[in-house]
Chain A
Amino acid sequence: MISKNVEKPLACWRGKDLFEGQVLETLTVIFRTAGCSWNRCTMCGYRHERYPPLSEEELTGRLLAQLAWVKESYADDDYRMVKIFTSGSFFDPAEVPPAVLDAAAAAFRGKVVVAESRPEFVQDEVLRQFADGLDDGTWTTPLFVAMGLETTDDAIREKSIDKGFSYADFLQAAAAARSAGAGVKAYLMMKPPFLTEAEARDDMIRSIATVAPVADLISMNLCTVQSRTEVERLWKQHAYRPPYLWSVLDVLIQSPVHILCDPVGGGQIRGPHNCGACDGPIVKGIAEFSLTADKELLRVLAETECPCRQEWEFVLEQEQPFCMPLTR
């Protein structure tokens, strides 16, 4: 028997999320699995987090132990929503064996579950079985499949992220999820490499407009410089800069639908940042906005007086694919 002290998720924490107009207590779990089968995305640092090759039986055992640790560490009544990540795809059978899905459905029965997966693993049968296991009648839609669409622009997704699927693949997976009775959450990625500040901002504005009718929930991740990634290599060569927080505000304010956005690494040199002087309140405001959807707050923040605003406006106008990034 494997020790419970050893087998626990990569990370697990409690938070709050805005869902169907109310703020829910949330548990976020990142399971250690066999790892992402695709394993190529330029900005992804999670892909190094994986078990060494294991038999299916061994892998199942370790995942069940992680699940048991979660159940023991957090009381069922303390959360109503569970967000499951794996540094890959929760519905990839090579990563997460089917027996684990069944156990997870039983463990989180009655909760709203948002589970992340690449589209190729979003299949009617698998999702239906998992959703049925979760459903105790509490929620109209107990399962949402979250997919890292990143952008609706296939050319950008391919060049900047090397994601390996198209928008058409996403739409097909979304349809499969719907037919299995699951909802759809789309993750977008603001400013992957090789985009100017203006191109990155415009890409998000276009992507939100395009995907809004298809996705129930949209979450926008802000690209950060994670260690041992292609993006980090570019960043060290002065060939990449994370987005300005001014651009993030701009996108969120212009969006016709509510966008969830957790500004991870905000205000730091490796994360979305302005000049360093004005970052703090803006980062805090963006995090707050995810729960309140209060655009007025964003508008006030966007009016913050800071000399770096002029720099950002210059960058938006003058940064070009052949001379980027202009700033660090």
Chain B
Amino acid sequence: MSRYEGRKRDGLARIGIFEHEGVTLTLPAAVDADGLFPNLQRRALSNVPLDAGPAFAARYHEPGSDQPASVHPAAPAAAASGDCVMAAGWHTALANPRKYVEWLVALKERVVPDTAWYAPAAALPRAAALLVYTGFDLFDYRAVDLATARGVFCTPEGEFPASMMESGVCGCAGCRDGDLKRHNRQALEREIALVARFVEAGQLRELVESRCRLDAAQVGILRFLDRQYAFLERRLPIARDVTLRANSAESQNRAEVRRYAERVIDRFAPTRTDVLVLLPCSARKPYSLSQSHRRFAAAVASRGHEVIVTSPLGVVPRELERVYPAGHYDVPVTGYWDREECAFIADILVRYLAKNAYGRVIAHLEGGALTVAEMAAEALSLDLEVTCSGHPTSGASLRALDEALRGERKMQADMVRGTLAWQFGTDVDMKGLRVRSKGPRVSVLRGKQQVFSIDPGTGLFRPTFEGWQLIPDRYRVTIDDFVPQGDVLAPGVVAADPAIREGDEVLVQGERALATGKAMMGADEMVQAKRGVAVKVRKVRTLE
């Protein structure tokens, strides 16, 4: 009997507790797998390569009679909640980026989520971050011990001749004693500990974007996996309260970046107005707190709908500037936008403009952002009114912006309605609702009753029971016939709106109770898993 409970997720990566035969491990970790799973010694002649087809796999793949349960991309998975799942031969996948992702998706889609994932012989310090990022959390020492047998010195940056040990690049106990085996094992353990720290912080993606650079296959895996948008998006939290560092070319392909743009286009409804003002971004987030945006706001004076053109998010309507990751990203600012970046953002702007018609499009932009606006205008045969001469905050530019807007009617961008639409995919009727703002704190009331309050960390709204009445049908978690005492655990969940992501606000409903709270896992996981907190409950209301 074994158990696995995920405690913290970062996409496919998890920190969790695995218990097996009286041993409790905090994963990710490297262990003596042969000692932990004596059954591994009883799998003679059972090899089935990862690339084997369904007929061969059906005939020769065996899950094994005890832990771990071996799985194969072409065979039905025989793993249950709490099992350790072994992706046999996974060390060979690292050389095949395209297949790596194909196999990974096949395996992850068919195995229940509350399982520990063992990648035998795969863990070199160089690969640990990527392995954890792609959902593996249990490792052995085979790969580093093999390196030792071959006289190879391992670091997170790659493998080197053993003589590297004397070069001073590492000062571990193994290196001090001239013990290569000890160094290699410690290098793996240190890297796994570091990776766990980044998972804890919700910034593993940033570490992986950095770590993969010295290995073309790893960059390939990262890129192929980013193409699996639907697969990844379901597993990524809706929001984080940490900075999203968009420092590499791959950053713009992050599923979270794309999801933001998709929702701006599909779900968001702009406040009605005929005039669009495209503005540049600012380093400070949310933009409206920056010096430059205060000046833009003064010049626009509510006479147009402000939409920020930015890399890598694409377009950020003023209403959504606090929503993750718009209020949380950081990019290197060089003033230069490469063609890929321009094409990517122009495409989003084109889709936005095609969906939302404006009579006038004013581009208060320069440089790359202006190029993007020009590309979009050309694609749609729109007239673009450019109001910048020199820097957007120069007196002349601001005067031109003010001049361009002369005579236009005032409007008030509705941050609450826009955010609720982005967050819940529903257009809330704002009639009779009153917004009260105190700095970053925003609450929405109907009469004296609070209906929504903002989560300043993520920019998303938390509905009260009354607020949920304004969001019909969506983001519901159905539970069994019980009154939640504390949080709702996964086994109690009967059904969940498939749109729910980790971090989403949800309404828990059962025959005996309603509860408001925040999803701690995505819909798929809360329906399938037998362990772990599914919803962190804020308020419970008993039904009689």
Contact = CB atoms under 8 A, between A and B. Distances in A.
A237 B92 contact: yes
B50 interface: yes
A307 B60 contact: no
B120 A323 contact: yes
B149 A321 contact: no
B474 to A, nearest CB: 44
B210 interface: no
B45 interface: yes
B95 interface: yes
Contact of B145 (A156, A233, A307, A314): A314
B450 to A, nearest CB: 56
A194 interface: yes
Interface string A164-175: 000000000000
Given A237-B50, A311-B150, A324 B89 contact: yes
A239 interface: yes
Contacts of B45: 155-156, 159, 194-195, 199, 321
Contacts of B149: 310-311, 313-314
Nearest to A310: B149
A195 B49 contact: no
* Secondary structure call for the B interface: loop
A39 interface: no
Nearest to B118: A322
B47 interface: yes
Contact of B151 (A239, A307, A313): A307
A238 interface: yes
A324 B48 CA distance: 10
Contacts of A159: 45, 60
B8 interface: no
Contacts of B44: 199, 321
Interface in B140-156: 142, 145-146, 149-151
A318 B151 CA distance: 16
Given A237-B51, A307-B151, A321-B45, A326 B86 contact: no
Interface string A44-85: 000000000000000000000000000000000000000000
Interface residues of B, number: 29
Contacts, number: 83
Nearest to B99: A237
A302 interface: no
B51 A320 contact: no
A323 B142 contact: yes
B120 A322 contact: yes
A311 to B, nearest CB: 5
Contacts of B86: 322
B49 to A, nearest CB: 4
A323 B96 contact: no
A96 B146 CA distance: 50
Given A159-B60, A238-B92, A239-B89, A324 B142 contact: no
Contacts of A140: none
A321 B89 CA distance: 8
Nearest to A322: B88
Interface in A191-227: 193-196, 199
A326 B91 CA distance: 8
Contacts of B43: 320-322
Nearest to A155: B45
Contacts of B150: 307-308, 310-311
Nearest to A156: B45
A233 B49 CA distance: 11
A321 B47 contact: yes
A327 interface: yes
Between A240, A321, A327, the greatest number of chain B beta carbons within 10 A of the residue's beta carbon is seen for: A321
Contacts of A318: 121, 142, 145-146
Interface in A269-294: none
B383 to A, nearest CB: 56
Contacts of A234: 49, 51
Nearest to A313: B149
Nearest to B96: A237
Contacts of B47: 194-196, 321-322, 324
Interface in A234-278: 234, 237-240
A23 to B, nearest CB: 39
Interface in B112-170: 120-122, 142, 145-146, 149-151
Contacts of B120: 320, 322-323
A237 B49 contact: yes
A311 B146 contact: yes
A274 to B, nearest CB: 12
B267 to A, nearest CB: 42
A323 B88 contact: yes
Interface in B431-470: none
B184 to A, nearest CB: 13
Contacts of B51: 233-234, 237, 239
B122 to A, nearest CB: 8
Interface string B90-110: 011001100100000000000
Interface string B44-77: 1111111100000000100000000010000000
18 contacts: A159-B60, A199-B44, A234-B51, A238-B96, A308-B150, A311-B149, A311-B150, A313-B149, A315-B146, A320-B40, A321-B45, A321-B46, A321-B88, A322-B46, A322-B88, A322-B89, A323-B122, A325-B92
The 7 lowest CB-CB distance pairs between A and B, nearest first, are A323-B121, A239-B49, A322-B88, A314-B149, A321-B47, A323-B120, A238-B92
Given A196-B47, A199-B44, A318-B146, 9 more contacts: A156-B45, A194-B45, A239-B49, A239-B92, A320-B40, A321-B47, A322-B46, A322-B47, A322-B88
